[in-house]
Structure 1
Amino acid sequence: TCYHGNLTQSKYCILALESNPSDHARVSTIFLSKSQTDVRDRRKSNHINHISHVSPGPLSKKYSSCSTIFIDDSTVSQPNLKSTIKCVTLAIYYHIKNRDSDRSLDIFDEKLHPLSREPVPDDYLHVDPEHKLIYRFVRTLFSAAQLTAECAIVTLVYLERLLTYAELDISPANWKLIVLGAILLASKVWDDQAVWNVDYCQILKDITVEDMNEMERHFLELLQFNINVPASVYAKYYFDLRQLADDNNLSFPLEPLNNQRAQKLEAISRLCEDKYKDLSRAAMRRSLSADNLIGIRRSNAVLS
C-alpha cells in the first residue's frame, strides 16, 4: 500500500509499480531472470560433458532442411495449450526454487486452508515441489475446467503482479493456493465461458465455496483490483515463455510442413497482401499534406 503522506515513500511506490513487469512491456519478466542462474549452470555442465565425451549424443531438436520444413502451431494469438502449461509451470517452479525469502500471508497457507483431507506434511515449509508436481496440479485444473492456453499466460501475469504488489514470495507452503487464485481470476477475466467458484469445488472436492470466495476477494484486494493485461505485456510473457522453453529444452511440438498446411499459409498470406494493397490505395487517396501521410510498411509472412 502506498501512503501519500510521505512524498519520498510515494515516489518510491510509483517507481516500484513502474518497474513491475506485469504492467509494463519493457520490464523483464521475473521468472525469466530467476531461471538464468540454473540455465548458466546447466550450460556450463553441458559444455564440460561435451568436452569429456568424444562422440556427442543424438540431437534432441528438429531442424529444417532443403527437403523438410518444420513449423509449430503455437503463435502469440493461439498458443499451444500443453506446451504453454509446461512453460508456465516451469516459470512457477523457478519462482519457488530461487525465491528471495518466504514472505507470505495466512490466506495462502495450505496448512491453514488445506485443499484436501490428506494431512499436510510437517516439512511442507521447506520441501520445494518438483516441476512435474506443479504441472500435474495446473494441468488437472485446466483440463477439468477446459481453460485455454491464453488463460495460462494471464495466470502467470497475475501471479507476478501479486508477488510484486503484495511483496510476497511463492513458496512450498503457499504455491497451490496462489496458483489457484491466479487461475480462478484469469479464467473469469479472460475466458468467454467463465468457471464459477463452485465448479472449482467440484474439482478440488475438499475446499469450500466460502474459502474460495474469501481467497478470491483477498487476491483482488492485493492486486489493487488491477486486472488489466495490456496486449504488449501479454506478448512479452508469451515470448519470454518461449525463451524459457528454449533454455530448458522444452521445445514446442514441431510438425513437417505438408501441402495442406502450405496452402493454408499461402491463402492467409494472400489475404494479408490484399488487405495491405487496399490500405495502400486508401492512403494514396488521402491529402498529400505532410501531417496526413500514412506510411504502409509491407512485410513478408513469418512462419512461427
Structure 2
Amino acid sequence: MGNKTSCCSYSSPQASHRVIMPIEETLHEGEISVSNLQHISEREGDDGEEDPSQDPMAKTIFIERSKTAIENGMIRRRSQHQIADLRPLKKSSSCSTIYLDDSTVSQPNLKNSVKCVALAIYYHIKNRTSQREIDIFDEKLYPLSTAGVSEDYEKHNPEHRYIYKFIRTLFNAAQLTAECAIITLVYLERLLTYAELDIQPSNWKRIVLGAILLASKVWDDQAVWNVDYCQILKEMTVEDMNELERQFLELLQFNINVPSSVYAKYYFDLRTLAEANDLTFPSEPLSKERAQKLEAMSRVKEDKYTAEAIKNGLKKWSSLDNVTNGGVASRRSIAILS
C-alpha cells in the first residue's frame, strides 16, 4: 500500500509524504527463491486437509496447543466455586444494568488484544511439535541488534510478558490497531502451516516482526514503511527488512486474504484463551451514549445488508422491528434507557 521499499508494492488511496527508496527487482547473485509458487487453484486443501487460517470451521493452532492450560483453567474455576474466593465478584448484568467490556469483534481493545496474541505465541513456543527452521527467521544468522544473541539462546523459552513487551513496543511506535494484532496471528499460523516450521526461541522475534510488517500493510490504508520499522529497530537495515518481507510472502504463497469468518474465529478464540488465563477484559455499565452508538452501528449494518439483498433480488421479509408494507416507511420501536 504505497510502500516501495518492500519487495511488493501495494496501492494506497492516500498520498504519502515519505521519501521513496529504490527497490531491487532481481535476486542477488547466488540467491534462489524460497519455494516454488503454486497456482492459486492449487492452494486448495487436499484430501480434506483443514487450514485454520482459511477454514472458519478448523480449530486454531494456538487453541490446540493451549488446550491443557484452558482445561486447567476450567477446573480451577470450578474448584473455586467450592471454596471461599477472596477475589472480587464478577459483575453480572441485570434488568436495570448491563455490563459490557470495551472490546468487540469489530472494535477490539488494543491492549488486551496484544496481550492475548502474545499469550498465543507463548503457547506456540512452549508446546511446539518440531524443530524445523528457515534461515531468514533465525536470529543468530540475522540478529535484530549488533549485540547478537547468546550461545544457548534457543534453549530458553521467552516468558509471556517479554513477548508482550516486544509486540507492544512495535504497535505503540507504529501506532497500529488492535485488528492488526489479530491479522498478525492469522499470518503467523498460516506461515507455520504452509512452511511446515515451528516458532521457537531462536526465531520467534523475526517471525512475529514479519507477520506484523505484512499485517500493517494489508490492513491499514496508510501503512508503515519498512524504513520506519528500521527507526524502531534501529540496528536493522532496510535490506534485511525487505528480504524478511519477501521471503515471508513467498512462504505464504502470496495468500494474504483473511475472510471475515476466520477473523471472527481468531478473535473469539483469543477471548477464550484470555479467560482461561485470567486475562480479564474490564467491563463497565452500558451508558445511554454507548447504547445509542451501538444501535447506530447496528442500523448501518442492517441497511447495508438490506441494500445488498435488494440488489441481489432477494425478498425482504418483515419483522416486528422492521415492517415493510408497500410504500409505507419502516416503523421501528425505540428503546429508552434511563
Measured against the shorter chain, the TM-score band is 0.7 to 0.9
Counterpart for residue 151 of structure 2: 122
**How has the CA–CA distance of structure 1 residues 236 and 261 changed in structure 2, closer, same or farther, with 3 Å as cutoff?**
same
Counterpart for residue 41 of structure 1: 72
CA drift at 1:45: 5.1
Of residues 117-126 and 145-154 in structure 1, the stretch that sits farther from structure 2 once superposed is 117-126
8 Å Cα contact 2:155-2:201 kept in structure 1? yes
Following the alignment from structure 2 to structure 1, what is the Cα–Cα distance between the partners of residues 95 and 195? 52
CA drift at 1:77: 1.6
Give the counterpart of 1:26 among 57, 60, 66: 57
Q: Aligned pairs, how many?
A: 285
SS class of match (1:255): strand
Counterpart for residue 134 of structure 1: 163
CA drift at 1:255: 1.4
CA drift at 1:24: 1.4
**How has the CA–CA distance of structure 1 residues 272 and 62 changed in structure 2, closer, same or farther, with 3 Å as cutoff?**
same
Give the counterpart of 2:120 among 71, 74, 91: 91
8 Å Cα contact 1:87-1:242 kept in structure 2? yes
Counterpart for residue 296 of structure 1: 317
**How has the CA–CA distance of structure 1 residues 297 and 80 changed in structure 2, closer, same or farther, with 3 Å as cutoff?**
farther
Note if 1:56 corresponds to 2:88.
Answer: no
Q: Show CA shifts across 1:103-162 (max 9, x none).
A: 111111111111123341222111111111000000000000011111111111100000
SS class of match (1:15): coil
Following the alignment from structure 1 to structure 2, what is the Cα–Cα distance between the partners of residues 167 and 143? 31
Following the alignment from structure 2 to structure 1, what is the Cα–Cα distance between the partners of residues 319 and 267? 24
Following the alignment from structure 1 to structure 2, what is the Cα–Cα distance between the partners of residues 34 and 102? 16
CA drift at 1:234: 1.2
Of residues 197-206 and 41-50 in structure 1, the stretch that sits farther from structure 2 once superposed is 41-50
TM-score (norm. length: structure 1) = 0.82
- Cα-Cα RMSD: 3.3
Give the counterpart of 2:137 among 108, 118, 124: 108
Structure 1's unaligned 5+ residue stretches are 5-10, 287-291
Following the alignment from structure 1 to structure 2, what is the Cα–Cα distance between the partners of residues 167 and 136? 27
Aligned-pair identity in percent equals 63
Structure 2's unaligned 5+ residue stretches are 1-34, 322-338
SS class of match (2:279): coil
**How has the CA–CA distance of structure 1 residues 155 and 296 changed in structure 2, closer, same or farther, with 3 Å as cutoff?**
farther
SS class of match (2:239): helix
Give the counterpart of 2:220 among 191, 212, 224: 191
CA drift at 1:262: 3.1
TM-score (norm. length: structure 2) = 0.74
**How has the CA–CA distance of structure 1 residues 242 and 196 changed in structure 2, closer, same or farther, with 3 Å as cutoff?**
same
Alignment of 1:212-227 (within 5 A): 212-227=241-256
Note if 1:233 corresponds to 2:262.
Answer: yes
**How has the CA–CA distance of structure 1 residues 142 and 60 changed in structure 2, closer, same or farther, with 3 Å as cutoff?**
farther
**How has the CA–CA distance of structure 1 residues 130 and 296 changed in structure 2, closer, same or farther, with 3 Å as cutoff?**
farther
Q: Show CA shifts across 1:39-94 (max 9, x none).
A: 2234445656765xx52222463322344321122222211111111111111111
Following the alignment from structure 1 to structure 2, what is the Cα–Cα distance between the partners of residues 18 and 297? 41
8 Å Cα contact 1:97-1:128 kept in structure 2? yes
CA drift at 1:267: 4.8
- The structure carrying a bigger helix percent of its residues is 1
